[in-house]
Copies of this chain bind each other. A is one copy, B any other.
Amino acid sequence: MADKIKVAIIGANGYTGLELLRILAGHPQVEVVHASSRQYAGQPVSEVFPAFAGFYDGLVFSGAVQSADMEAEVVFCCLPHGASQEVVPGLVEAGKKVIDLSADFRLRDPAVFKAWYGEHKAQALLSEAVYGLPELYRERIKGSRLVANPGCYPTSVILALAPLAKAGFIEQGSIIADSKSGVSGAGRGASLDTAFVEVADSFKAYKVGGHRHTPEMNQELSLLCKTQMSITFTPHLLPVSRGILSTVYAKLKQHVTDAHRFYTDFYANEQFVRVMPVGRFPDINQVRGSNFCDIGVYVDEVKNRLTVVSVIDNLVKGASGQAVQNMNIVCGLAEDTGLKGVPVFF
What is A's interface to B at a CB cutoff of 8 Å?
15, 18, 21-22, 25-26, 47, 49-55, 173, 176, 178, 180, 183-184, 188-192, 194-206, 208-209, 230, 232, 234, 236, 238-243, 245, 247, 249, 271, 274, 276-277, 280-290, 292, 294, 296, 298, 300, 302-303, 305, 307, 309, 311, 340-346
Q: Are B344 and A203 in contact (CB under 8 A)?
A: no
Q: Are A289 and B344 in contact (CB under 8 A)?
A: yes
Q: Which B residues lie within 8 Å of A242 (CB)?
A: 201, 346
Alpha-carbon separation in the docked complex, A232 to B302 (Å): 11
Q: Are B204 and A245 in contact (CB under 8 A)?
A: yes
Q: Are B197 and A197 in contact (CB under 8 A)?
A: no
Of the residues B199, B209, B281, contact of A208 by C-beta under 8 Å? B281
Alpha-carbon separation in the docked complex, A2 to B232 (Å): 53
Alpha-carbon separation in the docked complex, A192 to B184 (Å): 12
Q: Which B residues lie within 8 Å of A249 (CB)?
A: 176, 178, 232, 249
Residue of B nearest to A275 (CB): B53
Q: Which B residues lie within 8 Å of A241 (CB)?
A: 196-197, 200-201, 346
Q: Which B residues lie within 8 Å of A302 (CB)?
A: 230
Alpha-carbon separation in the docked complex, A142 to B318 (Å): 43
Q: Which B residues lie within 8 Å of A239 (CB)?
A: 196, 200, 238-240
Residue of B nearest to A200 (CB): B241
Q: Are B190 and A195 in contact (CB under 8 A)?
A: yes
Q: Which B residues lie within 8 Å of A178 (CB)?
A: 178, 247, 249
Of A15, A173, A286, A342, the most chain B CB neighbours within 10 A belong to: A342
Of the residues B26, B49, B191, B281, contact of A204 by C-beta under 8 Å? B281
Contacts A/B (CB < 8 Å), 7 sampled: A190-B190, A196-B196, A198-B346, A201-B242, A208-B298, A209-B298, A289-B344
Of the residues B191, B204, B209, contact of A190 by C-beta under 8 Å? B191
Given A190-B190, A249-B232, decide whether A284 and B202 contact each other with a Cβ distance below 8 A.
Answer: yes
Residue of B nearest to A201 (CB): B240
Q: Are A188 and B196 in contact (CB under 8 A)?
A: no
Alpha-carbon separation in the docked complex, A284 to B203 (Å): 6
Alpha-carbon separation in the docked complex, A176 to B306 (Å): 11
Q: Which B residues lie within 8 Å of A230 (CB)?
A: 302-303
Alpha-carbon separation in the docked complex, A238 to B245 (Å): 11
CB distance from A198 to the nearest CB of B (A): 7
Q: Are B197 and A195 in contact (CB under 8 A)?
A: no
Alpha-carbon separation in the docked complex, A115 to B190 (Å): 30
Alpha-carbon separation in the docked complex, A202 to B303 (Å): 30
CB distance from A49 to the nearest CB of B (A): 7
Of the residues B15, B204, B282, B292, contact of A283 by C-beta under 8 Å? B204
Alpha-carbon separation in the docked complex, A267 to B290 (Å): 32
Q: Which B residues lie within 8 Å of A345 (CB)?
A: 18, 22, 49, 51
Q: Are A285 and B52 in contact (CB under 8 A)?
A: no
Alpha-carbon separation in the docked complex, A169 to B52 (Å): 31
Q: Are B26 and A202 in contact (CB under 8 A)?
A: no
